Amino acid sequence: MPAARPDLPPLFLPPQMPAFAASDQRPLRGLTVLVVEDSRFACDALRLLCQRSGARLRRAETLHAARAHLKVYRPDVVIVDLGLPDGRGESLIRNLALQVPRPAVILGSSGDPGGRTAALAAGAVGFLEKPIASLAAFQAALLHHLPDRATGVTTAMPPPDDLLPDDPPPADPLALRDDLARAADLIAAAPDRSQRHYLTGFLAGLARTTHDTALEQAAAGLEDGAQGLAAVAGLLSRRLARRADVFAPDST
């Protein structure tokens, strides 16, 4: 294979993947995490946290996809968002809690802190409130239920050019844009009452994660009928008209 030409700019050189030593001490190394999550934005944040912790991530967007996945694979950790397109995440948590053998760690997840009670009542051993505060907080939430790994472990440092353990995962504006576009498509399709209820939770969680107060307020009116739908549709249209790399929300 010919060597890279020295006269080519770095853009044309093959990307270098981060390398970890054979003595890799990342605390979740070797674990497989199944994330049942409909938001691409939230899933991308979890992907980065898993990567920096040594875990492998698999994703299912719906309850149906998660159940199909679980017929074939047996993950060590399952993180279940409570509001999914085809039902409530609590139903999957209840099923997982009754499995023998069951996954080592079952966690509920939501942008609504009130979801903690429902997740624990369904059988989850813990709860992740979105957005997850830091790499260290993510690792601690899992290690608390993995005593063999937690012994003597704090948090493993990520590669030097990545986020530090106390930093939140970086926002991916393209993933956020995909989530907003998906919500806009669902609204354009004249959602029924149950679909509006789902969209209310989806957009409210996304708004809390991105600190978008205007979106959270608009989402609260989604179930009020045509006027609420029109307000959210207009706000989403303005968000999507921006450049794809613009992340910071404003008041409109």
Q: What is the pLDDT along the chain (252 residues), one digit of tens a residue?
A: 444 444 433 333 333 334 444 456 789 999 999 999 999 999 999 999 999 899 999 999 999 999 999 999 999 999 999 999 999 999 999 999 999 889 999 999 998 999 999 999 999 999 999 988 889 999 999 999 998 775 545 444 444 445 555 666 666 888 999 999 999 999 999 899 999 999 999 999 999 888 889 999 999 998 887 888 999 999 999 989 886 655 555 545
Coil, strand or helix at 72: coil
Residue in 149, 127, 17 with CA at minimum distance from that of residue 82: 127
Q: What is the DSSP letter of 104?
A: S
pLDDT at position 171 is 66
How far, in whole angstroms, is CA 174 from its chain's centroid?
14
> Please, is 6 exposed, middle or buried when counting C-beta atoms within 10 Å of its C-beta (0-12, 13-18, 19+)?
exposed
Residue 142 parent element (H or E): helix 135-143
User: What pLDDT does residue 172 have?
Assistant: 82
Residue pair 205/132 in contact by the 8 Å Cβ criterion: no
* Separation CA 77–CA 62 (nearest Å): 17
pLDDT computed for residue 25 by the predictor: 79
